[in-house]
Amino acid sequence: MDATEFRRRGKEMVDLIADYLENIEQRPVYPDVEPGYLRSLIPEEAPEESETYEDVVKDIERVIMPGAASPACTELETVMMDWLGKMLKLPEDFIAGTHGQGGGVIQGTASEATLVALLAARSRAVRMILASDPQRPETGITSKLVAYSSDQAHCSVERAGMIAGVRMKKIPTEQSDKYAVQGETLRRMIQEDKAAGLIPFYFCATLGTTPSCAFDHITELGPICNAEKIWMHIDAAYAGSSFICPEFRPLLNGIEFADSFNFNPHKWLLVNFDCSTMWVRKRSDLIGAFKMDPLYLKHDHQESGLVTDYRHWQIPLGRRFRSLKMWFVFRMYGLKGLQDYIRKHVELAKEFESLVRADQRFEISADVVLGLVCFRLKGSNEVNETLLKRINNGRKIHLVPCQLSGQFVLRFAVCARTTESRHIREAWRLITQLAEEVMQELPH
């Protein structure tokens, strides 16, 4: 959709909204549909090929308006999470429309999903211990709980531990292991903590860390967590979108051991912020942690098993109709269109990597797996800090740094929808020009 069509479609959408408001008194104040009405009106999976905007808009009246705003809001979300889960080839345990006990929910951010999983894990751990030792005081349990994450994990994981009131330990990683958490390291820390009287209960694995896009070895880590009854949450906030491509799906191998999994379509799957998709293996674990049913929130179908009450799957009680934008994107791009978009960004990152490797003044600091390139000038941290300031002060491109093994590293991320090869080459021209200036200013 180019700018001209976008203007036209925007005006059409305003007309659609205005017509709705103008004729609202002709509509029922409460929907006359049965639970589960929506699933039969749309396909079981996302389309392979793109569909027309006209077809999607026509379906608003046919599919959405009979159940507007709820139950359509809830039911479309359940189906869209199943669509996306199937695109990722998640195990059936995580798909709602199966005989499994799991399902998906849209959270606001990955930070929120990490906290929700942590709170559910804490609740489950306490229940399990009290089941075998009912006389034990709950405060005596929570004070001994310990959670784990990589030292490369996003700071939101540590923050979740702070909010939940549990200690969070960072697992050290090494450059030789490509900054990935190793199974043996986690196993050793668990045994040491258990020997000290602590209760390990939660591990947040990361697929695509913020600093370098590293991938924890969940095929090793998952069985350890399962054996120790530790909740394993997988945070793939950025990288998760790439798993819809068969060539990148192996990065998710080990998902069958996870209790929950999350990534952000608003980062790399063309869905506007906010849209953070989270799946759980057992929805009862979430519901058990968050369920409250005051009279003013009760409804006729809540105990029927036919309705998903997403208020029990999240921190806030209220929620927006976030699945509608997923429905539009999945249909207008199709699975193939979304895969092409991901592949193009990875190719552009590889192009930038090749430019860096061809210049002897620079070095690559971590494996380039997806759309992130970690690089630096050979030399001191101070030189690289100076270079970064020059780049960002120029306001033509913007880079965010990281620390890897004590080194100050520049991060080049390909993430804009309209990025082309010419933008990569122009960015590199600017970087090398500024690098030359910085190096000339060094004392000889």
What is the number of residues in the chain? 444
Residue 310, C-beta contacts closer than 8 angstroms, at least 6 positions apart: 74, 77, 105, 319
Least confident of 182-191, 199-208, 317-326, 359-368: 317-326
Q: In this structure, what token pair is assigned to residue 343?
A: 């592949």
183-195 and 218-227 helices, crossing angle to 10°: 30
Q: In this structure, what token pair is assigned to residue 208?
A: 């695509």
Among 317, 333, 349, the domain-final residue is 333
Q: Do residue 383 and residue 275 come from a single domain?
A: no
What is the rounded average pLDDT for all residues in the chain?
92
Average pLDDT, integer, range 383-406 = 95
Least confident of 119-133, 240-254, 332-346: 119-133
Residue 179, C-beta contacts closer than 8 angstroms, at least 6 positions apart: 150, 152, 173, 209, 211, 212, 214, 366, 404
Least confident of 128-137, 171-180, 282-291, 300-309: 300-309
Q: Do residue 294 and residue 366 come from a single domain?
A: no
Residue 296: its pLDDT value, please? 44
Among 333, 348, 370, the domain-final residue is 333
Q: Do residue 317 and residue 403 come from a single domain?
A: no
Q: Phi, psi at residue 145, to the nearest 5°?
A: -70, 140
Strand partners, 403: 408
Tokens 């540590």: give the residue.
Answer: 158
How many domains are there within the chain? 2
Q: Do residue 221 and residue 239 come from a single domain?
A: yes
Instruction: Report percent pLDDT > 90 for the chain.
Output: 75
> Which run of H or of E encompasses 159?
helix 155-164
Residue 172 structural domain: 76-333
Q: Do residue 342 and residue 266 come from a single domain?
A: no
**Coil, strand, or helix at residue 98?**
coil
Residue 293: its pLDDT value, please? 62
Q: Do residue 178 and residue 311 come from a single domain?
A: yes
Among 305, 333, 361, the domain-final residue is 333
Q: Inform me whether the pLDDT recorded for 305 exceeds 50.
A: no
In a domain, 62, yes or no: no
- What is the C-alpha to C-alpha distance for residues 186 and 371, in angstroms, rounded to an integer? 28
- 329 pLDDT band, cuts 50/70/90, is very high
In a domain, 4, yes or no: no
CA max distance for the chain: 81
Q: Is the peptide bond before 300 cis (omega within 30 degrees of 0)?
A: no
Q: Phi, psi at residue 207, to the nearest 5°?
A: -110, 100
- What is the C-alpha to C-alpha distance for residues 438 and 431, in angstroms, rounded to an integer? 10
| Sequence-ordered alpha helix ranges (H) in 23-71 | 53-59
In a domain, 48, yes or no: no
Average pLDDT, integer, range 21-41 = 89
Q: Do residue 393 and residue 411 come from a single domain?
A: yes
In a domain, 382, yes or no: yes
Q: Do residue 311 and residue 397 come from a single domain?
A: no
Q: Do residue 310 and residue 346 come from a single domain?
A: no
Geometric angle at alpha carbon 262, from 315 and 145, rounded to 5°? 65
For the CA atoms of 62, 95, 84, 350, the dihedral, rounded to the nearest 10 degrees, stands at 180
* Predicted TM-score (pTM) of this structure: 0.91
Q: Do residue 186 and residue 319 come from a single domain?
A: yes
CATH number for position 396: 3.90.1150.10
* Per-residue pLDDT tens digits for 200-219: 999 999 999 999 999 999 99
In a domain, 234, yes or no: yes
- What is the C-alpha to C-alpha distance for residues 359 and 353, in angstroms, rounded to an integer? 10
Residue 349: its pLDDT value, please? 98
Q: Do residue 260 and residue 399 come from a single domain?
A: no
Strand partners, 366: none
CATH number for position 254: 3.40.640.10
Q: Is the peptide bond before 31 cis (omega within 30 degrees of 0)?
A: no
- What is the C-alpha to C-alpha distance for residues 215 and 252, in angstroms, rounded to an integer? 9
In a domain, 38, yes or no: no
* Per-residue pLDDT tens digits for 155-166: 898 998 899 889
Q: Do residue 339 and residue 303 come from a single domain?
A: no
